[in-house]
Amino acid sequence: MKLVLLACLAALAVAAPQFENAIPVLILRDDRVDNGDGNFNYAFESDDGIAIEASGSSGSVGQSNIQGTIRFILPDGTPADLTYVADENGYQPQGALLPTPHPLPAHAQEQLLIADEQRAAGITFDQRGFRVNRK
């Protein structure tokens, strides 16, 4: 039993994170205001290019509405920005790094245009895909 305990402690010591070559990061800005009523602001910035700002308020349905910005530097040195709103409509991020859907092929775009034209003309279809004739 002592041998198992000793082996576990040795494994834990070997698995401990090594911070010998870690570069310290300086905090350049850390501003926080919390009014205690759901309204708050905070801003954080470090010397490695990370900056986070957010402000929040109480929502109409009891949720917290938050809007903010996150900035950081990519490994190639390019700055990246992400803005977001989180409210009763959910989390809505915006930024160039977010994935976007592939564009629809031309034939799919054409089918959508045809469907729009049919709806505008009052043409409807049943659950099985057959056209409903209205007189």
Q: What would the pLDDT profile of 31-53 be if each residue is shown by its tens digit?
A: 999 988 888 999 999 999 999 99
Answer yes or no: is pLDDT of 135 > 60: no
- Report field, pTM of the whole predicted structure over 0.95: no
> Residue 24 and residue 46: Cα distance in Å, rounded?
10
Tokens of residue 35, six digits: 């009014």
Nearest to 74 by CA among 93, 94, 96: 96
